[in-house]
Structure 1
Amino acid sequence: MSSTKSLPSTVRALLQADPKSTNVTLVERPLPSPNLEKGEHLMRVYAVSPCAGELTWAGMVDTPGKEIITCDDVAGVVVTAPENSPFQAGDEVYARTSYWRAGCARDYAIATTEELARRPQNLSWAESAATALSAETAWQALFKHAGIGKFDSPNWKGKRILVTGASGCVGMWIVQIASLTGAEVVGTSGPSNVDFIQSLGAKEALNYRTCNFKEWAEEKVENKVDLVIDCVGGKSLEGAWWCVRDNGLVIGIREPPEAKRPESLTASNVKDLFFIMEPSGADLAEVTKLIEQGKCRPIVDSVWPLEHFQYGYQRVESGTTRGKVVFDLMMNTRKV
């Protein structure tokens, strides 16, 4: 625990006042008050990262009583903590916090023990903030939902994985982590990102603009994959179904795969599932090990001071980013 006597009474915050509107404003809000009995920590926020589409979520999900502060990916320093927490005042941490609480785009924010992990010491604050959501989604897709085994399981050796949207924020993490297991990774991307995803560990890169997935899969039996992880949805997901072999699995993180299953698909006993990641400091800690070993890394597209949040959100929604957009809350007082 630490004293809060020297802390400000109000903080800057990005507020989405109307859940039916995507307008965000920079306002003053009271200093958050953590509930220590519920494992809540008060953090001094150094950087946060918005997520594509997050400004539409409030209009689709009923969150009565929730003040909509944006950005749930955060990196910062613990200010106050429960006495029994492994994270105490002064610890440098990062997290993906629960959407069901107010977000972290404010000078001080709340995170629970279960959400937190110590941030990698070989990353900048911006890189730390860019990691949690994407890396945890990749980790959970591979090691909680694929059913092949844990990270170090020999069952991954020789498995083939198709990742659609492999140059996207989640896709690039799936490519990096999956390639470390010994699996063969095939990634899809636009033509400008083919070399990029191969540099991340993909054995093969497919240009989704010119590749006919059905023809590619039928070209030779070796092209078929055991696991599809779709990060795009739509036509990419529909095409990816043709690539999975008998007894394979299709995982979707954008939409349920079953809705895009081709009626004439001939592969047998193919299962599918859709999931939404659950914030997990334990999963993030596993990713931290790989980052600190230099085996994988986040990609930051651009960094903006909090006051320039409009430009940051425009960049997020442009569809042209490579990596994550970050808001640096300390940009006016130190170098990024």
Structure 2
Amino acid sequence: MSLPTESKAVFQPDPSSTKLESTTLPIPKATESEHLIYVYGTSPCLGELGWEKNFPALFKERKARVPGTEGAGVIAKAPEGSPYKPGDAVMWRNNAWMWGSLRGVTAILEENIAPKPECLSWSEAAATPLSTLTAWDGVFTHGPLDPAALEGDSAARKKNEGYRILITGASGGVGGWAVRLAAAAGAHVIGFGGGAAADGCKKDGAEAYLDYKQDDLAQLPEKVDHIFDCTGRDTEKGWSILKDNGSFVSVCVDPNSTKPERKPVKDAKWFLVEPSGKNLARISKLIQQKGWKPVLDSVVPYDQFQQAYDKVDSGKTRGKIVIAVHEDAA
């Protein structure tokens, strides 16, 4: 199939407004290390349409900004020496200031691409990269756990078994994946979230689960070595159950804002997830082995892009929303 010269796309005309428009744009001019990909689906991120306004230094060139930082699709054209070839099914997470995924054809760096797990549908794969990579960073990159345990390293697993990990927002997308990853790596995991998710969280490996509406986090009987916060709430109580010289990381707030003055800590910070095709490939293999699935709120047709972003920003979703860019995305 020959590549088209242009494709459908959705763009954000004004960074100060969340209003999106449908248009037709030339396909991206790929660099030597970028792959052209037919996009099958992409998933909106909470607050995504405010990033350019809030972080203008990251968006150095004002062009037709196409949103969508994660997705799944099929390789259309690969650079020389790439491990991928046309026709390969892949998924990815891109930086927000690079080519967006809410378009028929996008361009993605090899370092941000991973094979799509065969056990996932196109929509499930499109909803997977951002949440899983954030979870990975929260327990491995910025946490004490060694991911080598996921690949059979017995020494790494023995080390991980010595850690107690608290994950807040365990009933959400990122938190739920973090429970799975940390438990699979051998850690003792405590989930904190909505009560309806308790059984599922325990099935995914949590040894204990606290309902944020009924249980007091400060009353946890045994302190933890690491806290991964996915809600931005109850950080004060989190400090009370963190062991001295433990670590406390968040994707919502800086935990140092509520840190007791005399509390010794190894690490405490807010972090922003980084794209990583290498880590995403490891996640992809694990998903295939475990049969894990993301939680989807809904899959909407391409022409409902505005409704999809509005619903995500309302905070009233139960799982990820996927926009079906390609008719086979569902």
Contact 1:167 1:193 in 2 (8 A): yes
Q: 2:39 aligns with which of 38, 45, 64?
A: 45
Q: 1:324 aligns with which of 317, 320, 326?
A: 320
State the partner residue of 2:153. Answer: none
Letter aligned with residue 245 of structure 1: K
> 1:283, CA displacement in angstroms?
0.2
How many residues are paired up?
A: 320
Q: 2:112 aligns with which of 115, 119, 125?
A: 115
State the partner residue of 1:296. Answer: 292
CA distance in 2, matches of 1:335, 1:65: 31
Letter aligned with residue 244 of structure 2: D
> 1:184, CA displacement in angstroms?
1.5
Q: 1:60 aligns with which of 54, 72, 82?
A: 54
> 1:204, CA displacement in angstroms?
1.5
Counterparts in 2 of 1:117 and 1:313: CA distance versus 1, 3 Å: same
Contact 1:143 1:151 in 2 (8 A): no
Between 109-118 and 311-320, report the one with greater CA deviation. 311-320
Contact 1:167 1:322 in 2 (8 A): no
Q: 2:141 aligns with which of 128, 139, 144?
A: 144
Q: Matches of residues 21-170 of structure 1 in structure 2 within 5 Å?
A: 21-35=17-31, 37=32, 39-62=33-56, 63-66=59-62, 67-152=64-149, 153=156, 154-170=158-174
Under a length normalisation based on structure 2, what TM-score does the superposition of the two structures give?
Answer: 0.91
Contact 1:96 1:133 in 2 (8 A): yes
CA distance in 2, matches of 1:294, 1:150: 16
CA distance in 2, matches of 1:161, 1:129: 28
CA distance in 2, matches of 1:269, 1:291: 33
Contact 2:119 2:291 in 1 (8 A): no
CA distance in 2, matches of 1:201, 1:148: 15
Deviation per CA, 1:186-231, whole angstroms, max 9, x where unpaired? 11112333333223222222121233322x13xx3x2x11110001
1:203 and 2:207 are equivalent in the alignment: yes
CA distance in 1, matches of 2:203, 2:46: 24
* 3-state SS of paired residue (1:170): helix
Q: 2:244 aligns with which of 243, 246, 263?
A: 246
Between 150-159 and 81-90, report the one with greater CA deviation. 150-159
CA distance in 1, matches of 2:125, 2:275: 15
Under a length normalisation based on structure 1, what TM-score does the superposition of the two structures give?
Answer: 0.90
CA distance in 2, matches of 1:316, 1:14: 17
Contact 2:28 2:99 in 1 (8 A): no
Deviation per CA, 1:1-38, whole angstroms, max 9, x where unpaired? xx7xx333322212111111111122221122211x2x
CA distance in 2, matches of 1:287, 1:183: 17
CA distance in 1, matches of 2:297, 2:257: 32
Letter aligned with residue 72 of structure 2: A
CA distance in 2, matches of 1:165, 1:302: 20
State the partner residue of 2:271. Answer: 275
Deviation per CA, 1:250-271, whole angstroms, max 9, x where unpaired? 01112221112245xx754453
Unaligned runs of 5+ in 1: none
* 3-state SS of paired residue (1:163): strand
> 1:293, CA displacement in angstroms?
0.5
Runs of 4+ in 1 over 4 A off after TM superposition: none
> Cα RMSD over matched residues?
1.8
State the partner residue of 2:230. Answer: 231
State the partner residue of 2:186. Answer: 182
Letter aligned with residue 205 of structure 1: Y
Indicate the percent of aligned positions where both proteins have the same amino acid: 38
